[in-house]
Amino acid sequence: MEERRQSRPPAGSKPSPATMASQEDLRSRRPPVGLVYDDRMCRHSTPDGELHPECPDRIRSIWTKLKFEGIPQRCVVLNGKEAEDEHLASVHTKRHIKLIKGISNKEFDSRRDRVASKFNSIYLNKGSSEAAYLAAGSVVEVCKSVVEGQLRSGFAIVRPPGHHAEANEAMGFCLFNNIAVAANFLLDKHQLGIKKILIVDWDVHHGNGTQKMFYKDPRVLFFSVHRYDSGTFYPAGDDGAYFMIGEGPGAGYNINVPWEHGQCGDADYNAIWDHVLLPIAKAYNPDIILISAGFDAAIGDPLGGCCITPYGYSLLLMKLMDFAQGKIVMALEGGYNLTSLANSVFACVRTLLEEKTINGSLRGHPFKSTWRVIQQVRQRLKSFWPFLAAEIPQELLACTRKETQTQLIYNSTSDSNVEKEEQTPSQVCSANMVEGVGDVVQPFSNSSVDKDKHGEAKTTEHKTNDQDSFEGYPVPEASDSKKFSMAEYIRSIGLEDYFMEAVKRHVHGKINKKLIERGSNPIEWNDFLKHLKEEKRPPIEAISQESRMTQIANFIKSDKNVSDFFFKSVRQHVYQKINGKRKKKGNDPISWAKFNEIADDALSKNIADDAADN
Ligand code: Q9C
Ligand code: ZN
Q: How many domains does the chain have?
A: 2
Task: Report pLDDT for 23.
Answer: 67
Give the residues across from 328 on adjacent strands: 289
Selection from 183, 155, 203, 188 nearest residue 54 by Cα: 203
Mean pLDDT of 73-81: 97
87 catalytic per annotation: no
Instruction: Count the neighbouring beta carbons within 10 Å of the beta carbon of residue 369.
Output: 16
Q: Which residues contact 331 (CB under 8 A, 6 or more apart)?
A: 139, 142, 155, 156, 158, 162, 178, 179, 182, 290, 291, 292, 293
pLDDT for residue 483: 34
- Write the residue with the smallest CA distance to atom 9 of ligand 1: 172
pLDDT in tens, 182-223: 999 999 999 999 999 999 999 999 999 999 999 999 999 999
Phi, psi of 69 (to 5 degrees): -90, 5
Q: Considering only CA atoms, which residue is closest to atom 5 of ligand 1?
A: 172
Using pLDDT thresholds of 50, 70 and 90, give the confidence band for residue 5: low
pLDDT digits (tens, 9 = 90+) for 127-155: 999 999 999 999 999 999 999 999 999 99
Write down which residue in 389, 407, 422 finishes a domain.
Answer: 389
Q: Are residues 183 and 62 in the same domain?
A: yes
168 with 286, same domain: the answer is yes
- Domain range for 88 is 29-389
More confident of the two residues 316 and 612: 316
Rounded to the nearest 5°, which phi and psi values hold at 90? -75, -15
Q: Which helix (H) or strand (E) holds 513?
A: helix 496-517
Same domain? 352 vs 447: no
26-30, 44-48, 423-427, 572-576: least confident range: 423-427
Sign of the alpha-carbon dihedral angle for 517, 519, 524, 527? negative
Q: Are residues 361 and 444 in the same domain?
A: no
Domain contains 501: yes
What's residue 363's pLDDT?
74
More confident residue, 560 or 52: 52
pLDDT at 44 over 60: yes
Within a domain: residue 462?
A: yes
Nearest-CA residue for ligand 1 atom 12 is 172
Q: Determine the distance separating the centroid of ligand 1 and the alpha carbon of 434, expressed in angstroms.
A: 21
Select from 338, 363, 389 the last residue of a domain.
Answer: 389
Residue of minimum CA distance from atom 7 in ligand 1 = 417
Neighbours of 569 (CB within 10 A): 20
Phi, psi (deg, nearest 5) at residue 570: -65, -45
Nearest in space to 496 (alpha carbons), one of 267, 327, 270: 267
The CA-CA-CA angle for residues 355, 358, 359, to 5°, reads: 135
Query: Is the pLDDT reported for residue 293 higher than 70?
Result: yes
Average pLDDT, integer, range 424-440: 27
> What's the whole-number mean pLDDT along residues 582-601?
83
Q: Is the pLDDT of residue 36 over 50?
A: yes
Same-domain status, 330 and 190 = yes
The count of other CB atoms within 10 Å of the CB of residue 567 is 18
Measured N-to-C along each axis, helices 128-148 and 94-102 cross at an angle, to the nearest 10 degrees, of 120
pLDDT in tens, 228-243: 999 999 999 999 999 9
Q: Active site residue: 52, 164, 275, 573, which one?
A: 164
Which one of the ligands is nearest to 226 CA? 2
- pLDDT computed for residue 575 by the predictor: 76
Atom of ligand 1 nearest to the CA of 333: 13
pLDDT computed for residue 34 by the predictor: 98
Q: Which has more pLDDT, 276 or 509?
A: 276
- Kindly give, in sequence order, each residue whose CB lies less than 8 Å from that of residue 2, ignoring residues fewer than 6 positions away: none
Most confidently modeled of 318-322, 491-495, 552-556? Answer: 318-322
pLDDT band at 562 (very low <50, low <70, confident <90, very high): low
- 276 burial class (0-12, 13-18, 19+ CB within 10 angstroms)? buried
Domain check: are 357 and 446 in the same one? no
Whole-angstrom distance, CA of residue 54 vs CA of residue 59 = 10
Identify the residue whose C-alpha is closest to ligand 1 atom 1: 417
Least confident of 46-55, 111-120, 173-182, 453-462: 453-462
16 vs 12: CA distance, rounded Å: 9
- Same domain? 376 vs 438: no
158 CA distance to ligand 1 middle (Å): 17
Task: List ligand 1's pocket residues with C-beta within 6 A.
Answer: 121, 161, 164, 172-174, 203, 205, 234, 294, 296, 333-334, 415, 417
Mean pLDDT over all residues of the chain? 79
- Distance from the alpha carbon of residue 299 to the mean position of ligand 2, in angstroms: 14
User: Among 60, 81, 64, 83, which residue's Cα sits nearest to residue 9?
Assistant: 81
Cis peptide before 286 (omega within 30 of 0): no
Of ligand 1's atoms, which has the minimum distance to the CA of residue 417?
Answer: 1
Atom number of ligand 1 nearest to Cα 164: 13
Residue 422 has pLDDT above 70, yes or no: no
